[in-house]
């Protein structure tokens, strides 16, 4: 395998995915979880730009990446709105408080 700029981008995507999933599994703070979801979304976004580059349709890859930014932002907004409500009702951001429903 030769080291091209593309390889570096691929490594970057994989690292972002690793960081995102690690954050998702380890964090207990709701805000940090939403940040981890955003990092995951950015990994997917870069993957699209890269995919467009690989098959020679750079423009379409970038257009899809723009759409992902919009969709990701909407999810983040809804998540943060829920986080605000969680802070109001539970008085904490710790997701340990959010484990009453079981079975």
Partner 1 sequence: MNNAFLWLIALPLLASPFVYILGRIPFSRAAFRTVRLDGHLVLENPRSRIPAFLALAVMLIMWVFFAMTASQFLANGAQSWTFGSVSLRLDGLSLLLAAVALGLGTLVVIFSGPYMADDAGEEKYYALLVLMVGVMIGLGCAYDLFNLWVWFEAMAVSSYLLVAFYHEQPAALESGVKYLVQSAAGSVLVLLGIALVFAQTGTLALDQIQSAARATVNAPALLAAGALFLIGYGVKAALVPLHTWLPDAHSQAPSGISAMLSGVVIEAGLVALLRSLGSLSAVTPSWSTLLFIFGALNMLLGNLLALRQTQVKRMLAFSSLSHIGYMLLGLGIAVYSGQPGGAEGSFFHLINHALMKGLAFLAAGALLYCLFIATGSHNALLISDLAGAARRYPLPALALSIAVLGLGGLPPLAGFMSKWQIFVAGFQTHDLVVMGLVIFAALNSVLSLGYYAPLVNMMYRQKPSTAVQSGKPLPWIMGIPLVLLSLAIVAIGIWPTLVQWLSAPAGAALVSMTAFGR
Interaction between residue 88 and partner 1 (CB under 8 A): yes
Q: Write the burial class of residue 21 (CB in 10 Å: 0-12 exposed, 13-18 middle, 19+ buried).
A: middle
> 96: which 2 tokens?
């340990």
- Output the smallest distance, CB 1 to partner 1, in A: 14
Interaction between residue 93 and partner 1 (CB under 8 A): no
Interaction between residue 23 and partner 1 (CB under 8 A): no
Binding test (CB under 8 A) with partner 1, winner from 1, 3, 56, 96: 56
- Please give the Cα distance from 19 to 24 (Å, whole number): 8
Cα separations in angstroms, 74 against 1, 38, 67, 68, 95: 39, 11, 11, 10, 22
Q: List interacting residues with partner 1 (CB under 8 A).
A: 17, 20-21, 24, 30, 33, 37, 40-41, 43-44, 47-48, 50-52, 54-57, 60-61, 64, 67-68, 71, 74-75, 78-79, 82-83, 85-86, 88-90, 95, 98-101, 103
């Amino acid at each position: 395998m030769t080291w091209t700029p593309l390889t570096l981008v691929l490594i970057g995507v994989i690292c972002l995915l690793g960081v995102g999933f690690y954050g998702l599994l380890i964090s207990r703070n709701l805000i940090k979880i939403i940040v981890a979801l955003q990092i995951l979304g950015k990994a997917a976004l870069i993957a699209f730009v890269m995919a467009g580059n690989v098959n020679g349709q750079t423009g379409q890859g970038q257009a899809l990446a723009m759409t992902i930014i919009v969709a990701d932002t909407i999810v983040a907004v809804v998540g943060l709105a829920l986080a605000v409500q969680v802070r109001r009702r539970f008085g904490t951001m710790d997701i340990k408080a959010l484990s009453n429903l079981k079975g």
